[in-house]
Each structure stands twice: as structure tokens, then as C-alpha cells.
Amino acid sequence: MIVDWPVAQLGFGVVPWVVSLWVDSPWRYGLWALGLALDLVITFAVSGDRLVANITAKLAHREGPVQRPTPARLDTVHFGERLGLFTIIVLGEGVLTVTDAMASTPEWRARLFFTVIAALALLATLWGTALNQGFGGIPYLAADALGPRLLLPLHCRVAGLLAAFAGALGDAVESVSDGHVETATRWLLCGCIAAFAVIGSLAGHAAGRGVRWAVVTAIPGLAIPLALGLAGERMAPGVFLWLLVVAAGAGLLRRRSAKPAAA
């Protein structure tokens, strides 16, 4: 029995997914939503330790030899590695969209190379925060800072942000010919970086980096995207992306002075 993940024992959340195989749209989508809702409710509402205690109490009332359930714990390091690999895949989609956008541009001029390099540098910065300095794809998080109940939903949120960001990044590269990033794309990129910065500052604080580090990391991560969203309508795409690199990588500049102390 995996104590850290009760949903692995209570499998009735799978039932709506199985039933949906024989149901047509739009009811199929409702069953999917029900399955997700059940998994989330079980994840946050059911205590694994309490579940083990209840099962042990029921077994104690049975006749014959008592077989106590053996609790098992998730291998947190391995679990984080799996989540990190998924994050790498999502970042790889960003590289693919940038490559496709560059290939679809008829004329390769200096400003295109400048923009593409900025886009790749931005993806590399996100890799540095989420994987090199983070855990499980969550920026600046430590392996022992959060349990699976919080780690997995937070990872899903970060992966969703990166997926949306990757799609918009290709549009930013394609906008080189226009000389500026379109409003919807600009706000989507800025919003993703701002949300990423907030998650990173909170995760870093949970990992023991301190309040000062969290504030110093969050300020440029919020201020720069907000300024670009409001006043970046005429800014060249390359300059726009390089400023986002600064916003996304503010925490990396302070990693040596704010590295958590070893236990």
C-alpha cells in the first residue's frame, strides 16, 4: 500500500474513464471530468496513514492470523526524475515550435537570428530554473520540500504554463516580419513568465531559500512582464524575448548566495 498516494489504492476514480469508452460526446467529456474530479478529491481529502489504520483495524476483527498491510513510500527522487523528464518533453516542444517558425520565414536576416537565439535562451533559462535548480519540473523546489499531494498538482500547473508558453513562442518568432509581437501573444508570454516566477519564488521559499530571496526573485518576474504587456506593443520581438530572459532568470543570478544550507 502506497501511503503517500491514496488514489493508487482507491481505484474507483478509474470507473468513469472505463465507462467513457462506450459513451459518445458530449457525455464522454463529462465522464472524463468526473474521473479527474474524483482523483483530485481523493488526493487531497483522503489520508494514507488513516487509510492504513482503518484497514488494520478491520483486519484485526477477522478470525485467524492477522495480516497487517505493509505501508510503502514513494521514492521521491525517482518520482521527481519522471516528472522532470516530462518537463523536458514540454520544453522540447518549445524548441520545435521555434524551429518550425524559423523554417517558415522566407528571408533569414540578422533580426531573425537575434530573435531565435533569444527564444532558445529563454527556453534554456526555464530549464535552468525548473530542472537544474528545481525538482520535478517545479522551479527552485527541493526534493524534500513538498509531498506528492502538492508536488503532482503543482507540476501539472507548471507543465500547462510551459505548454502554452511553447506555442506562443513560435508565434513570437514568426512576428519578426511584422516588427512587433501581437497583443494576444505578448500577454500570453508575459502571463506565463509572471506565473512561473510566482510559483518559483514560493517553491524556493518552501525549499528554504528565504523570504528575501523569494521577494527579489518575484519582483523582476512580475514587474518586467507587466511592463512588457502594457508598453511592449512596438518593441522588436528579439528585444522583447531577451527582456523575458531577464525576468525568468532573476533567481538564477542569486543561486549561489541563497543556496539552501545542507542539513
> Can you give the pLDDT at residue 143?
84
SS3 content of the chain, % helix, strand, coil (to 5): 70, 0, 25
pLDDT of residue 57: 60
- CA dist 208 and 127 (Å) reads 21
Cα–Cα distance for residue pair 228/238, rounded to 1 Å: 13
Return the H-helix or E-strand segment holding 155. Answer: helix 148-174
Report the alpha-carbon distance of residue 35 to residue 39 in Å, rounded: 6
Q: Kindly list the domain boundaries of the chain, sorted by start residue.
A: 6-60, 76-253
Tell me the pLDDT of the chain (263 aa) as tens digits.
455 556 556 566 678 888 888 888 888 888 888 887 777 776 666 655 565 565 566 555 666 565 665 666 667 777 788 888 999 999 999 999 999 999 988 888 899 999 999 999 999 999 999 998 899 899 998 888 887 777 878 888 899 899 999 989 999 999 988 888 999 999 999 999 999 999 999 999 888 888 888 898 899 999 999 999 999 888 999 999 999 999 998 888 765 444 444 33
pLDDT at 241: 95
pLDDT at 239: 94
DSSP β-bridge partners for residue 135? 138
pLDDT in the model for residue 258: 45
For the full predicted model, state whether its pTM sits above 0.85: no
| pLDDT given for residue 37 in this prediction | 79
Please report the pLDDT score of residue 256 as a whole number: 44
